[in-house]
């Protein structure tokens, strides 16, 4: 990967982060003010004494919440991801595995030309790793205890280099913001969904009927349409956010693998590490679905994670490990060909 391509990737991820935040706030504003508009149209002709929705307090509150979520994800998203996994920071290595991990992180930071990230260990027996942070100066790399026990030094270098490439490309900023925002969308959808299922009476008169004005049954068609679209938005929002999360992750894993091969000059080591991670039979229970896209391999027991084609592209957070291994072994083969001595000239 050439330097201009690296800078283009970083600039692209900065733009994507900006548009992700903007789109998130716009989406919440639509949910809030769209609900206000629907309620206004539904209640404007209600009988005297009934509820009339004039002040768009839903839109104001929800938009402010969206801005707060973006600010919180920016400032504290990385720490919340680490907290959710139960990770603890390696300040002073306590054993040989931790010393090897810290040394490898230092080596790969030098190779990538980045400040040394903070190093964390996740108390989970399944081998996995992830990186998080808004920028390289505030980045963290976390590995599970199972990964430290499973991989040798060269394989660990490949995994750490993979995560370091996410840091260098600013993938971690985009994916950390996604982790916070996807969770917020799911919570909002669940909360408002419960409100709708509980039933909200709009425009019903307080008296027995026959009074002046229009009946509460004469609903505005435009108001009903807006409310239907609003309700559908709440239903499909978690699905769309999940698809966005998957798309962002899958496109970046191949690039991170290639960058790791460049940093270590040893693509075969990362291929061997991925094969060991694929052989693990248990999911990484310490890492939730909301942060799955941050990991080097899918931490869930998703049966679609190794499928190619449309189903895998839509339902899995990572490309198939088998395909990643094939690409890395192809790089190793090409590297071996370049480094092998030329055949002796025929006499």
CA nearest neighbour of 256 among 9, 7, 3: 9
Q: First vs last Cα of the chain: how many Å apart?
A: 39
pLDDT at 37 over 60: yes
* Catalytic positions: 163
Tell me which DSSP letter residue 285 carries. Answer: T
**Alpha carbon of residue 136 to chain centroid:** 18
pLDDT(211) > 70: no
Phi/psi at 58 (5° precision):
-65, -50
Query: Could you give the 3-state DSSP secondary structure of residue 113?
Result: coil
pLDDT in tens, 115-149: 999 999 999 999 999 999 888 999 999 999 999 99
Number of H helices, E strands in the chain: 10, 4
69-78, 197-206, 251-260, 325-334: least confident range? 197-206
Mean pLDDT of 87-95: 93
Give the helix, strand, coil percentages of the chain, each rounded to 5. 65, 5, 30
139 touches 172 (CB < 8 A): yes
With beta carbons less than 8 A apart as the criterion, state whether 271 and 328 touch. Answer: yes
The burial of 277, by beta-carbon neighbours within 10 Å (0-12 exposed, 13-18 middle, 19 or more buried), is given as: buried
DSSP string, 297-345: S--S--TTTT--SHHHHHH-SS--HHHHHHHHHHHHHHHHHHHSPPPPP
Beta bridge partners of 89: 120
Residue 210 has pLDDT above 50, yes or no: no
**Nearest alpha-carbon partner for 133 in 168, 102, 103, 185:** 168
**SS3 call for 273:** helix
Higher pLDDT, residue 95 or 21: 95
SS3 for 202-250 is CCCCCCCCCCCCCCCCCCCHHHHHHHHHHHHHHHHHHHHHHHHHHHHHH
User: Residue holding tokens 């998130």?
Assistant: 24
Question: Residue 241's pLDDT is what?
Answer: 66
- Residue with more model confidence, 13 or 153: 153
CB 117 within 8 A of CB 105: yes
Distance CA 54, CA 79 (A): 40
Query: How much is the pLDDT for 121?
Result: 96
What's the mean pLDDT in 179-200? Answer: 61
Q: How confident is the model at residue 63 (pLDDT cuts 50, 70, 90)?
A: confident
What pLDDT does 167 receive? Answer: 92
Report DSSP letters for 171-187, one per residue. Answer: HHHHHHHHHHHHHHHHH
For 269-312, the pLDDT digits (tens) are 999 999 999 888 677 788 766 677 788 988 876 554 555 555 55
Higher pLDDT, 97 or 134: 97
Strand order in the sheet with 88-89: 88-89, 118-122, 140-144, 129-132
Tokens read off for 29: 């504003």
What does pTM read for this prediction?
A: 0.71
Tokens found for residue 83? 């907290």
- What is the residue extent of each domain of the chain? 3-335
Q: How far apart are CA 130 and CA 141, in angstroms?
A: 6
User: Of 102, 70, 73, which Cα lies nearest the Cα of 89?
Assistant: 102
Q: Specify the higher pLDDT residue, 7 or 53.
A: 53
């Amino acid at each position: 990967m050439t330097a201009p391509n690296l800078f283009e990737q970083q600039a692209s991820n900065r733009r994507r982060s900006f548009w992700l935040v903007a789109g998130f706030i716009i989406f919440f504003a639509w949910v809030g003010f769209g609900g206000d508009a629907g309620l206004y149209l539904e209640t404007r002709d209600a009988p005297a004494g009934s509820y009339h929705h004039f002040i768009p307090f839903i839109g104001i509150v929800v938009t402010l919440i969206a801005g707060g979520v973006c600010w919180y994800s920016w400032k504290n998203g990385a720490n919340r991801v680490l907290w959710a996994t139960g990770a603890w920071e390696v300040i002073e290595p306590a054993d040989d595995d931790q010393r090897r991990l810290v040394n490898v992180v230092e080596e790969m930071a030098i190779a990538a030309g980045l400040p040394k990230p903070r190093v964390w260990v996740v108390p989970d027996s399944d081998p996995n790793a992830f990186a998080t942070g808004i920028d390289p100066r505030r980045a963290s790399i976390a590995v599970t205890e199972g990964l430290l026990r499973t991989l040798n030094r060269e394989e660990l270098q490949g995994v750490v280099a993979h995560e370091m490439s996410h840091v260098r490309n600013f993938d971690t900023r985009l994916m950390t913001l996604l982790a916070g925002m996807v969770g917020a969308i799911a919570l909002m959808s669940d909360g408002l969904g419960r409100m709708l299922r509980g039933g909200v009476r709009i425009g019903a008169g307080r008296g027995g009927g026959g009074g002046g004005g229009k009946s509460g049954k004469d609903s505005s068609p435009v108001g009903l349409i807006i409310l239907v679209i609003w309700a559908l938005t709440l239903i499909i929002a978690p699905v769309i956010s999940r698809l966005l999360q998957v798309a962002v992750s899958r496109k970046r894993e191949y690039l991170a693998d290639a960058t790791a091969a460049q940093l270590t000059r040893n693509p075969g080591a990362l291929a061997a590490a991925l094969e060991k991670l694929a052989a693990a039979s248990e999911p990484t229970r310490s890492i939730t679905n909301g942060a799955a896209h941050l990991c080097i391999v899918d931490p869930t027991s998703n049966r679609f994670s190794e499928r190619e084609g449309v189903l895998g592209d839509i339902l899995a957070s990572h490309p198939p490990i088998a395909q990643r291994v094939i690409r890395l072994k192809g790089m190793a083969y090409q590297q071996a060909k370049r480094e092998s001595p030329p055949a002796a000239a025929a006499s």
